[in-house]
Structure 1
Amino acid sequence: MAVFTGMDKKILSRDGTPLAYESTGQGPAVILVSGAMSTGGTVAPLAVPLSDRFTVLVYDRRGRGESGDTAPYAVEREVEDLAALIGAAGGEACLHGISSGGALVLRAAASGLPVRRVAVYETPFADFSEHGAKRRAEYTENLTAALAQGRRGDAVELFLRLVEMPDEMIQGARRSPMWPGMEAVAPSLAYDNAVLGDGLVPRDRLASVTVPVLAVAGGASPEWLQEATRAVAEAVPEGSYRNLAGQTHMVDPDALAPVLADYFTR
């Protein structure tokens, strides 16, 4: 089994932005895409068990980790980033996105990139969350203002409140050694927000996806997340749904990896 040692490769995206990535294992290519407030290192634990059967690429999305950034941001640039990584992987790959990273891989699949199969884990579309659309609109407005005024800490706190982290945990995080690192990637919160669009399941876009999509949810996650995941599967012509008993949004890589391995080898 391969061991993840960090991002030691670089590739340029179409707009010249350098992307840091690492590949492990041998076999068909699988690219893992992280969600908000995370880097490629966040999904690296999932790469390790998959590397027995696949060449697994993990990367720092633009604006975080060791990758660069180029203004102005557009979701299309992140799709081009995936195109560059697919090229580095040999011209075809399976994609797996966690949380808002799932929204990005779904956009990539809809754009016609050479993708064999797609899997997503709990993409947080807010259709089934109480006041979900309203909360997302308020979050977008407040996040935009905080970042425009350079209030990175407040931007991080807005996100943590959106994902319903308790106040005492937020205040503890602010005092913790990890907080400067969280503030460092705060501008990328706007990127994940843009990838999610209006925050609702993009049924028209998903209807245009021509490759199989597996949407996975955790059985111990909030009901609205499970329903949103099921809605993604139902909106894709070749969509399927899987529920992992006992798992939450912080899914155990050892529980998810066998599901992905079976799906990607079909």
Structure 2
Amino acid sequence: MEDISFVHSPDGTPIAHRRTGDGPPVVIVSGALCTASDESPLADELAAQGFTAVAYDRRGRGASGDTGPYAVAREVEDLAAVIEAAGGSAFVYGTSSGAALAFEAAAAGLPVTGVAGYEPPMTTDDDGTPGRLAHSARLQELIASGRHDVAVAHFVSGTGAPAEVIEELRGTEAWAGWVALAPSIGYDYAVLGDSLVPVDRMARITVPLLVMNGTKSFDFMVPAAELIARTAPRGRHRLLEGQTHEVDPAVLAPVLCEFALG
């Protein structure tokens, strides 16, 4: 992956990005607690198949700035600036909450040639909305009070991880990096809103859309992905055999390349 370059979002926030390979651009949008460096394996796979992978640090992460106040619209503008730096238009791929942001950008009319997302953490369960909003509100309280370690634990608990697993994670090298990124988790929650599929937004996406799930991942995400694919005018849904929420870049990259090439 090349050295870090910067582009400035309309509000002046510097957004760090890295390019890998030579070919049609694919912009990678990370999920929660991830930065551009975490996307290196996927970027390398895409580059090996003839694409230019452009991974960037979302605002509040890595080498990027974080101008307040936060709004999802500012993140869409960040992505637009990265696309412009990539050549003016690009295929966009997002993972988890990054998929939700990628879809939002496509719905907003950014110059994307196509968009793909792996397991946006959305649901069709309206009954669970109060609980999800309460979980999000508690996270925001922890971040605002500076309790970043507890905020990360709260976020991980929301994925269904038991307390003993969270304690094991606390002992890993990755944990300190996650704690440093904790304030940005609130941005992911803002992108997701109440976590219900925003069908009105999905219906506005006119470019080809691919949404994917792993067969060994969270079952509740599948109906939401299927709804996204049905709602988007050119939407498709695909299951990746044997994949968990941590998708293997070697499995994912060929699927993305095939879809991006039409």
Q: Deviations over 1:89-116 (max 9, x none)?
A: 1100000000000010111001111111
Report the RMSD for the aligned CA atoms in angstroms.
1.4
Paired position in structure 2 for 1:23: 19
**Distance in 2 between the 1:135 and 1:99 partners?**
20
**Is residue 224 from structure 1 mapped to residue 220 from structure 2 by the alignment?**
yes
Conserved? CA contact 2:92–2:112, under 8 Å? yes
1:1-266 paired onto structure 2 within 5 Å:
4=1, 7-51=3-47, 52-128=49-125, 132-266=128-262
Which deviates the most, 230-239 or 174-183? 174-183
1:223 alignment partner, SS class: coil
Distance 1:115 1:237 in 2: 15
Contact 1:13 1:84 in 2 (8 A): yes
* 1:127–1:133 Cα contact (<8 Å) kept: no
CA distance in 2, matches of 1:157, 1:235: 34
TM-score by length of 2: 0.96
Identity value in percent: 48
Describe the shift of the 1:128–1:219 C-alpha distance in structure 2 as closer, same or farther (beyond 3 A): farther
Residues 118-151 of structure 1 deviation map (CA, whole Å, 9 limit, x = unaligned): 000000103259x642331121110111111111
> How far did 1:170 drift?
0.6
Q: What SS does structure 1 have at the residue aligned with 2:207?
A: coil
AA aligned opposite 2:115 = V
TM-score between the two structures when normalised by the length of structure 1: 0.94
User: 8 Å contact 2:123–2:223 — kept in the other structure?
Assistant: no
8 Å contact 1:10–1:18 — kept in the other structure? yes
**Gapped regions of structure 2 (runs ≥ 5):** none
Question: Which shifted more, 134-143 or 238-247?
Answer: 134-143
Distance (whole Å) between structure 1 residues aligned to residue 19 and residue 141 of structure 2: 37
Cα deviation, residue 60, structure 1 = 0.7
Within 1, Cα distance between the matches of 2:41 and 2:162? 26
Return the alpha-carbon distance in structure 2 between the equivalents of residues 251 and 132 of structure 1. 26
Distance in 2, matches of 1:132 and 1:22, equals 38
Cα deviation, residue 65, structure 1: 0.9
Separation in 2, partners of 1:37, 1:121: 16
Does the 8 Å CA contact 2:29/2:92 hold for their aligned counterparts?
yes
* Partner secondary structure for residue 220 of structure 2: helix
The 8 Å contact of residues 126 and 133 in structure 1, kept in 2 or not, is answered as no
**What amino acid maps onto 2:87 in structure 1?**
G
Checking the alignment, whether the CA contact within 8 Å between 2:125 and 2:196 is kept in structure 1 is no
State the AA in 2 paired with 1:150: G
Comparing 60-69 with 132-141, which one deviates more in the overlay? 132-141
